Every structure is written in C-alpha cells, then in structure tokens.
Amino acid sequence: MISTYDSDGTAAGAAAGLIITLIFTAFYVVLVVGIYVVSSWFLSKIFVKAGEPAWKGWVPVYNSWTFLELGGQAGWWALVAFVPVVNIASSVFICIAAYNIGLRFGKTGVWLILYILVPYVWWGIFAFNASVWNPQPIAGIFIAPDWARPTSAVLRYVPQARPVYAPPPSSGPQNPGY
C-alpha cells in the first residue's frame, strides 16, 4: 500500500489532499450539470418558438442536430463535432445555423458575434425575448451546399411554426334594439 505521510509520521496530509480533491470534484460536477440544465432549458424554449417539441432541447447530441436543421444545415454536422480537426468545419456550420435562426427570428447578422462569443447568452435572449419564428424563406439565409445537405426526406424536414392564437376581431359596438 502506498501512502503519504507528513514529517511527523501521520497521514493527515494525504487525507487533507483527498478532501480538497473531493470538494473540487463535487463543485465541478455541480457546475457542469448546471450549465447543461440551463443550456438545455434555453434550447427547449427556442425549439418551442420554432415549432419543435421542447424535449429535443434536453437530448445532448440531438439538440445540436435539431439546432442545425432549424438553421438550414445538415444535422449530421452535430456528429462530426466529435471528430478532431474536422470539428472546426462543424463549428462553422453551427455558426451559420445560428445566423439563419437569428434571421428567422427577425434579428440582424450582428447577433452572430454574440453567439460566437457567448452562445449561452444568445440562447437565453432568443429563448425569452418577444421575437417570433418566421418559417418562410428570408433573404440572406445561407443554405448549405448540396454536398452538405441531408439526403433523406426525413432529414430534409423543415418544421413549420405553430399558429399563434389571435383573438377574433370585434365587429365594433353593438347596437341592440335600434
């Protein structure tokens, strides 16, 4: 058995090191879980505004896949993000998807800078602001080249926004009996 002893012959230093390591590990796990929960919550809100089910925001790789498809890119770029060096291309397509999603929400291209620098803030703003998803093609949207588009009909699915409730128009003041 290997153990570390202080100069007085006790294992107090090793125990203190273990306790500090456990504290930092617990803090790290809580931080990672917190970031996952907040980002998934933001993505689920964005997906609902775009007409997708909220649960897609909570599935780790599938939320990136859905984000890419909402932005007019091939969802399989989310899988390419796990391949070293090639993941740079995936990051570019994710940024293009963020640009397209921003345009669909009525934002300008300048919002892409915020996404590149702090995507969590971008997601939070888009999740809770009053912008409305526009499912119609908009001028300026970058569509992926043919080689980067999905090939199956299922993957080419572009979700339509759910209709927004509008109260029936009033017919003006009623004039009963006149």
Ranges of residues in the chain whose predicted pLDDT is under 50: 152-164
Q: What is the pTM of this model?
A: 0.72
In the chain, what are the domain boundaries? 13-148
Tokens of 4: 């570390």
Contact criterion met (CB below 8 Å) for 4 and 13: yes
Rounded Cα gap, residues 118 and 115, in angstroms: 5
Rounded Cα gap, residues 43 and 11, in angstroms: 48
Tokens of 37: 């929960």
DSSP letter (8 states) at residue 140: T
CB atoms within 10 A of CB 13: 13
